[in-house]
Amino acid sequence: MNLNVNLWMRFAWGAVAVVWLAGLAFTKPTIRSQAKGARLFHLALACAGFTLLGSHWFESGWMASRFVPGTQGIKLAGLILTIIGCLFAIWARLALGANWSGRASVKADHQLVTGGPYSLTRHPIYTGLMVAIVGTAVVVGEVRCLIGVFVILLALMIKMSQEEQLMMQTFPEAYPPYRRRVKALIPGVL
């Protein structure tokens, strides 16, 4: 079987992009959000991480060294992780509906979503994205991807902490018990 792993990986990430772009038309107005400086910082980190992960700029030197063998089996495992992560992130994005925002924010008539993927983890979009990012790093298999994974994780952790603060302020009665009951990123662990 000769599966074009890179093509299927692009389809998976393309599906995420389509859902995110289509969903922009259905979001509620923002009434409160993170500071612009904080947003720019986490966006800069995320862009740097995705550049390391997916661009061709770093395909030489020590950053292009392989951290996993480039066998078809390893690439297939990475593709499966990428697809699972993308599907989980899409499920979470759809479950969040009109409350979603690209920045840490509170929407008009904001609802605390605790069902579906939000019953498994408080930040399932980030969980899905991180699984997909790790899968993509395995497919590419170069050291630059590992660096990219950690930079993106740092960006998401910064944004996640800002979202946690906003949710605690917005839902002071409901969010603390939800926070105690449901882990942030990895069900039952973290």
By C-alpha distance, which of 75, 88, 69, 103 is closest to 12? 88
111 token code pair: 């609802």
Q: Is residue 20 part of a domain?
A: no
Residues of the domain holding 57: 36-181
The count of domains in the chain is 1
Can you give the pLDDT at residue 67?
87
pTM: 0.92
* Intervals of the chain under pLDDT 50: 1
Q: Is residue 96 part of a domain?
A: yes
Can you give the pLDDT at residue 167?
96
Q: Is residue 170 part of a domain?
A: yes
11 token code pair: 């389809």
Can you give the pLDDT at residue 78?
96
Can you give the pLDDT at residue 65?
85
Q: Is residue 16 part of a domain?
A: no
Can you give the pLDDT at residue 116?
96
Domain with 143 in it: what CATH number?
1.20.120.1630
Q: Is residue 23 part of a domain?
A: no
**CA triple 182-184-185, angle to 5 deg:** 115
Q: DSSP per residue over 65-126, as a string? A: -BSS---HHHHHHHHHHHHHHHHHHHHHHHHHGGG--SSSEEETT-----SGGGGT-S-HHH
Can you give the pLDDT at residue 2?
62
Can you give the pLDDT at residue 13?
96
Q: Is residue 15 part of a domain?
A: no
Please report, as a single letter, which amino acid is at residue 36: K
Q: Is residue 146 part of a domain?
A: yes
Q: Is residue 104 part of a domain?
A: yes
43 token code pair: 């966006």
